[in-house]
Amino acid sequence: MLQHVRFSRRLWILAAWTVAGFFCFRFFSINTQNELTNEKQVPTEKAPDTDHSGRHHAHEHSVLWNDAATILETCSLAHIPGFTMLQNVYSINGTLILVSDNGSSLPIPKHVISAWAKVPERRIYLAEEPTHHRIRVVDRATAIRLLGLSARRLHGTTWLFNEPLAYADDSAVLKALRTHYMQESRTGSGPSYLPPRRLLFPHIPIKQQHALPGLSTTPRSIFPSIGIGFKEDWYDYASHDRPIVFDTLVLLDSAATFRNPRILQQPDHSLLRLEVLSPLLAFTPLSNTWWAPWRKRLAEMIGFMESKSNRLIISYVFSSSDHHGKLDSTTHDSLINAAKALEQSHDLVFHVVDTASTNFIDRLRLALSTSIMFGPTGRSLMDVMWMPVAKRATVIELFPDDYLTAKQYHVSKVVGINYQAWRGSRIIEMPSITNETYSELLKSTLQRSVDIEKALRDPIKLDIDKFVQHLVACVEAG
């Protein structure tokens, strides 16, 4: 029996090696912008100890090579600008080194990561194209010169979010899993690189992590053995003058998405586009089934029980600690009273959720059971990605007069939730993904409010009667 087990394990490693090798050579090129051809595959997962790189000794802590002929080359498993999955990525002194004698088989560096620089005194950052101190593509001979003949090895899959806190939100896990899905849907029944071993946020200091509980709580809920590292941890890896090598590296960088000429023809470096656009717009819509297993997994992991009651749940989600994206207090109170009245008249359950004072896991449980969620624009609404698609879940995002963002719209789209944007007394149209409408959105946002901070601080106006009528219509339709 034991022998049988060993035998199949060896066979499996052999198979993984063959398949990985096959895909490295056969499939991937920088032209893989039209991701997705098939949707049937749902995420699968192998045991965490699996040696994804196909190396023969899964637990070596160092990788050695003798010369340029024996250093393992980097290969691209999946890539569209901003979302990249690579195998055998080296790093020394904080520089990512992609090694290949055929550089054109790898993504263009500026489509992989950005160089982020904080603008003093402002919340904004600049995302410049990366210099060769950040990322380089080198041939094998150069690699030997830069790296020497060995590297410390980081086993398994690493997720690296190359973004500062200002542009991070709880959709981080969604973005990484969507990147894995690109790879899985291409390879059909190919190897899975899940679960990730570690998650790194090189631009977010440890002490800031609590500003966004979802950054670490959600990945830890779904993948309990994941290790999470922040800026200081990254520094520990990067400051070493001995190189490291990542078996598999998933790199996410939203600014890199907007260097894709297919999305914006004249990429400007103002970060306005990061405020109003979502990097998720780069993905083609999928059937909802791709996300369902992850929602189910989260529900299981946090001990969520589906309620036996058939009463529809409506949640009003906001954050009392946010300085922007708020209703004024009179409107807020009237809205709550009006929605509460629906509990009786329409036999439903209405929850008011202040994310500033609600435990994050409780928020997730609530989202998993909510059919209609509404609230002011902002990060709190990201919980919608866990809403039950099967119950025709709908999110309604409330906007102030001079601000519009498509972030939530794209998150909803990627997971298959109905999305509505509401301003004042009516639903407003979200521009579709074309160059023209997006640049219009950018331009109009610019013209109307050069200072986004100010536009967001304006209290959101809401015609309560019209809005509640609309809620009732949603309830009756569902």
Ligand X SMILES: *[C@@H]1O[C@H](CO)[C@@H](O)[C@H](O)[C@H]1NC(C)=O
- The residue ranges that bind ligand X (CB under 6 A) are 29, 92-93, 102, 104-105, 146, 241, 262-263, 265, 433-435
Nearer to ligand X, 109 or 195 (CB): 109
Rounded Cα gap, residues 466 and 88, in angstroms: 56
Report the nearest approach of ligand X to the CB of residue 30 (Å).
7
Nearer to ligand X, 115 or 349 (CB): 115
116: three-class secondary structure by DSSP: strand
Report the nearest approach of ligand X to the CB of residue 204 (Å).
24
Report the nearest approach of ligand X to the CB of residue 275 (Å).
19
Dihedral over Cα of 418, 421, 422, 426: its sign: negative
Dihedral over Cα of 134, 195, 12, 292: its sign: negative
Rounded Cα gap, residues 65 and 132, in angstroms: 24
Report the nearest approach of ligand X to the CB of residue 277 (Å).
12
Nearer to ligand X, 143 or 372 (CB): 143
Nearer to ligand X, 79 or 231 (CB): 79
Give residue 23's identity as a one-letter amino acid code: F
Q: Which two tokens stand for residue 82?
A: 């901003």
For the chain, how far is it from start to end, CA to CA, in angstroms?
54
Give residue 33's identity as a one-letter amino acid code: Q
8 A C-beta contact, residue 316 and residue 340: no
Phi then psi for residue 176, to 5 deg, are -65, -45
Torsion (CA) 41, 43, 45, 51 in degrees, nearest 10: 80
Report the nearest approach of ligand X to the CB of residue 93 (Å).
4
Nearer to ligand X, 71 or 327 (CB): 71
Pairing of strands 115-118, 125-128: antiparallel
Nearer to ligand X, 309 or 435 (CB): 435
Report the nearest approach of ligand X to the CB of residue 118 (Å).
24
Nearer to ligand X, 241 or 306 (CB): 241
Report the nearest approach of ligand X to the CB of residue 135 (Å).
13
Nearer to ligand X, 143 or 302 (CB): 143
Report the nearest approach of ligand X to the CB of residue 438 (Å).
8
Pairing of strands 150-161, 62-64: antiparallel
Question: Residues 6 or more apart from 72 whose CB is under 8 A from it?
Answer: 53, 63, 65, 88, 99, 245
Nearer to ligand X, 177 or 263 (CB): 263
Phi then psi for residue 186, to 5 deg, are -75, -40
Rounded Cα gap, residues 215 and 212, in angstroms: 6
8 A C-beta contact, residue 420 and residue 395: yes
Report the nearest approach of ligand X to the CB of residue 132 (Å).
10
Report the nearest approach of ligand X to the CB of residue 241 (Å).
4
**DSSP for 177-197, written as a single string:** HHHHHHHHHHHSS----PSEE
Nearer to ligand X, 93 or 330 (CB): 93
Closest of 467, 339, 315, 469 to residue 399, by C-alpha: 467
